[in-house]
Amino acid sequence: MLQSTTAEIKPRSALRVNPAKTCQPIGALYAALGIHGCMPHSHGSQGCCAYHRSHLTRHYKEPVVATTSSFTEGASVFGGLANMTQALTNIFSIYNPDIVAVHTTCLSEVIGDDIPMMIKKSYDDGIIPSGKLVIHANTPSFVGSHMTGFSNMTKAMVTYLSDRNGSTKNQLNLIPGFIDPADMRELKRLAAMMNVNIVMFPDTSDVLDLPQTGIYKMYPKGGVSIPQLKSTGDSIATLALGHFASYAAATALNDKWEVTNAFLELPIGLGPTDRFINALRNYAGVDVPESIVQERGRLLDMISDMQQYFHGKRVAVAGDNDNVIALVQFLTELDMKPVYVITGSPGNHFETRVGEILKEQVPDAVIKQNTDLFALHQWMKNGPVDLIIGNTYCKYIARAENTPFVRFGFPILDRMTHRIFPTVGYMGAIRLMDKMFDAMMDHKDRECPEELFELVQ
C-alpha cells in the first residue's frame, strides 16, 4: 500500500482504498453493550458476528459478547425466522439476559427479513420469557458506517423502551455519541460535580473498562438500566452530543414524548466543553462549581504555555465525523491549521460544519466526507503536514511520510490506554495536547541535526 501510493491524484468514483470507517453492525453492537444486562444479537452469519466482536475486542482490550443467528445457505434462501426463533430460545435459556438487542447484517437485509414480525411472533409463542425484552435496529453494512449503526441502535432504545408517567423528573437525558468508556465516565463525572442527575444512554463505562478482579461477569455492573431508559420520557431535556451519532435518538424522543432537545458537538477542547457545561447549568438550574472552573483554568494555562509550539502547524485529521468536527475546533483554538480533514462516513453536514469552522483560519483546507486514507496520503505527498491525527490505520501513512502521529478515535488496535484516559472535557483536552506536543517534540529530537539537539525546548 505504501509503495503504491502516488502523488498523482486521479478521480475515483467506485473504489475505496483503506476507507476511514467500518460497518454499521459494529456501532450497533457497541451501543447495545451500553445497556445493563443486554445481549447483543447479530441476525446474520457467524463470520459477520465474529469480525464485529474481534474488532471491538481489539480496540477495547476486553471480551465483547454477542450472539448470532448463524445463517447458512438455507436461511439465505428461505429467510431467517427459524434461526431467530432458535437463537432467542437458546439465548434466554443459556445466557439469561434482561434484554436482547438485535441488529441486522448485509445478508438478512438483502433477503428482506422482517425483524419486528419475528420479535412479535417470539413474544406470542412464548419464546421470550415474561419480563424479558427484545429490541432491534436495521443496520445494513452497505449503507452508512459504524456511526450510523450506533445512531440506529440508540434510536431503537427510544422507540422500544422510552416511556413517561406524566410527572417531570429532576434529570437530564444525555446521549454521549460514539466515544470510549473513559469519555462516558468523564461526562458523568462532570455532571456529578455539578450535582446534575443524568440518564446517559448508551453507557459503556464499567462494561468495557472493567478492573481485574479475577472473576468474569457476562453482564457487568455498568450500562444504563432498563428502568432508567423507560424514565427518559419524563426528563427535563435531552442533551445530544454529536450530530451523526445522537441526533436521531434525541429527535425520536422529542417526537414521542416532547422532551426538549439541545444539540451539541462533542465536548472536545475549550469551546465545546464550555457549551456542554453551560447546557448542564441552564437546564438543571445549577451553578458551576469552583472545581470545574479550576480545571478550565488549567487548560487555559496549558494552551498559553504551548502556543509557541502549536502555532501555525499543519495538521491532517481523519476519523469519525462527530469526533473530527469537535477535534478540528480544538485545533483552531490552539492556532493550528487543519489543512486536510476527512471522514469515511457519509453525510454532507460534515463538510458544511468543518468548512464553517475553518473558513477564517484555514480557508483553503481540503475537507471531504465518504472518502479514504489513500486520498489523504496522496494529499500529504503533495503538501506535507507537521502532524497527523487519526486511528491506528494512519500509522502506515505516518511511517511512509515520517510524520508525527497521534492516535485518536476508533479503532486503536496497537495501543492500550485510550480506553482509560478521556479525550472529552477540560482534562481530556489537556491529555490530547500532551500527546500532540510529545509526538512533535519526539520527532524533532529524532530528526534534528546534532547542534540543535537541545536539553531545554
Q: Which of 110, 286, 293, 448 is labelled catalytic? A: 110
Residue 279 has a CB neighbour count (10 Å cut-off) of: 20
Identify the CA nearest to 37 among candidates 95, 122, 124, 113.
95
DSSP 3-state of 198: strand
How far apart are alpha carbons 67 and 65 in whole angstroms? 7
Peptide bond into 411 cis (omega under 30): yes
Report which of 321, 315, 329, 312 is spatially closest to residue 270, judged by C-alpha positions: 329
Is residue 199 flagged as an active site residue?
no
Catalytic option among 48, 102, 106, 207: 106
Q: Which residue has the cell 428461505?
A: 78
Calculate the CA dihedral of residues 294, 416, 146, 178 and round it to 10 degrees: -20
Determine the angle formed by the axes of helices 348-358 and 243-257, rounding to 10 degrees: 110
In the sheet that holds 133-137, the strands lie side by side as 67-68, 38-43, 99-104, 133-137
328 catalytically annotated: no
164's grid cell? 413517561
Give the catalytic positions in this structure. Answer: 106, 110
